[in-house]
Amino acid sequence: MSALACLLKEEGHEIKGSDLNCKNKPKCLGDIKVFSQPYLEGVKWADVIVCSSAVKENQETVLAKQLGKKIIPRGELLGKISSSYEKVIAVAGSHGKTTTTAMIFHTLFVAGKNPTLHLGGNLKNIGNYYNGGKEFFVTEACEYYDNFLFLNPYISVITNVEQEHLDYFKNFHNEKKSFQKFKNQSCISIDKTFNKAKNIRINKEGKLSFSWYKKDQFIARINIKIGGRFNAKNAMYCVEVCEQLGLTNSQIKLGLETFAGVEKRCEKKENAFAFTTYVDYAHHPKEIEESGKYFKSICKGRCVAIFQPHTFSRTKNFYSDFIKTLSIFDEIICFKTFPAREKSTDGLNETDLALGLAKIGKKALVCKTEKSLKKIIKNYKKEDIIVFLGAGDLPDKFNFFCDLT
């Protein structure tokens, strides 16, 4: 939403916003004002009201309908903006789409192609958007509420498809049908790679390297600044797209090796404690599994997950999978659930997870406030790794934990 607001502002539109939590306003918004919901004066002021799919009917949308205002979902706005570009590159998938989108943008950027970016995370040194030229529009494509079907990509990427957003899709069959529609709307669709990453290694600093092969031909050894074996596959999707757009092997290698990563994706954070801290956006069981394997492989002491469940329905739908994948960590602290659009009656919560983990013999604690969490984590040692997991608001409060007072 914030990236779209910034792109519209730079086109000359007047923008205001509202949010349930307007205190943590994204830095990219600059002087764009964000008010606490409900912001009814803003509804009266605006010509068009754009809503996130996370927003169901509220006082603002009710008033907008009464006043006859035009209301459009975020996905439709993204589709309208992207339609003014020559070539839309859209990356979808259950996992890896933010990093893959960022990799593609960065590689095109360093190759001098001046792409425009719309991202669901913050690319280091750039942010969540970049207003470039009108040839390439690189965007993350979200499947929730079929938002990606507003896009008509020149190139689409589907990194993977797993059961997700069942509150909307109801079942996996419906979800796969939507992904097929997205694929059919693309001039070129990439859901497998002819380029392969072989001899994948994680060095002592936790960074990734691999050999890039085109079919059976060795192209180059790639050393990336980020960790996670799964990022080798994301890199191969980037390679496939950039080859389609005419970049040379040397341009692609340069792009991958200078890619600094996306915030909250296996991101190491400086802190005032003895232990090492990472933030990882993983909030789906498969993502947690990959995260757990990676951090366990580089940890010399206790590998501890501080997991903030993201929505009650997700916890209920994937409960047994959460128990299985979180158990990869040595210890788990289950933090108060991030409700997003939901009520507690919609599913299960952090206490349910902790009880399930305890039943299989894992050390699991429940923590509902930042202050109590701070008291717990002070006891960890230099050799330990603490990983903040989830897509909620806990990592945004990280500076709080760095203050030892």
Round to whole Å and give the CA distance between 39 and 15: 13
On whether the CB atoms of residues 88 and 245 are closer than 8 A, the answer is no
Round to whole Å and give the CA distance between 297 and 31: 43
| Domain co-membership, 99 together with 123 | yes
| Domain co-membership, 88 together with 178 | yes
| Domain co-membership, 6 together with 146 | no
- Residue 129 within a domain: yes
CA proximity to 306, closest of 240, 263, 370: 370
On whether the CB atoms of residues 261 and 231 are closer than 8 A, the answer is no
Residue 373: give its domain's CATH number.
3.90.190.20
* Stretch (H or E) spanning 331: strand 331-335
Round to whole Å and give the CA distance between 39 and 297: 48
| Domain co-membership, 99 together with 212 | yes
> pLDDT in tens for each of the 405 residues of the chain?
999 999 999 999 999 999 987 777 888 899 999 999 999 999 999 999 999 988 878 999 999 999 999 999 999 999 999 999 999 999 999 999 999 999 999 999 999 999 999 999 999 999 999 999 999 999 999 999 999 999 999 999 999 999 988 889 999 999 999 999 999 999 999 999 999 999 999 988 889 999 999 988 999 999 999 999 999 999 999 999 999 999 999 999 999 999 999 999 988 888 878 899 999 999 999 999 999 999 999 999 999 999 999 999 999 999 999 999 999 999 999 999 999 878 898 899 999 999 999 999 999 999 999 889 988 998 899 999 999 999 888 877 766 666 654
| Domain co-membership, 296 together with 397 | yes
The confidence score (pLDDT) of residue 401 equals 62
| Domain co-membership, 93 together with 196 | yes
| Domain co-membership, 245 together with 106 | yes
The confidence score (pLDDT) of residue 56 equals 79
Range(s) of the domain holding residue 27: 2-72
Round to whole Å and give the CA distance between 179 and 45: 37
- Using CB atoms within 10 A of its CB, is residue 254 exposed (0-12), middle (13-18) or buried (19+)? middle
| Domain co-membership, 319 together with 235 | no
Residue 101: give its domain's CATH number.
3.40.1190.10
For the record, the structure tokens of 317 come out as: 């739908």
From 224, 257, 290, the end of a domain falls on 257
- Residue 203 within a domain: yes
On whether the CB atoms of residues 262 and 98 are closer than 8 A, the answer is yes
- Residue 309 within a domain: yes
The confidence score (pLDDT) of residue 398 equals 66
User: Which residue type, as a one-letter code, is found at position 176?
Assistant: K
- Residue 293 within a domain: yes
- Residue 379 within a domain: yes
What is the number of structural domains in the chain? Answer: 3
The confidence score (pLDDT) of residue 102 equals 98
Alpha helices in 67-201 (DSSP H): 74-82, 97-110, 166-169, 172-184
Q: Is the pTM of this model over 0.85?
A: yes
User: Which residue type, as a one-letter code, is found at position 21?
Assistant: N
Round to whole Å and give the CA distance between 12 and 14: 7
Residue 67: give its domain's CATH number.
3.40.50.720
| Domain co-membership, 225 together with 128 | yes
- Residue 77 within a domain: no
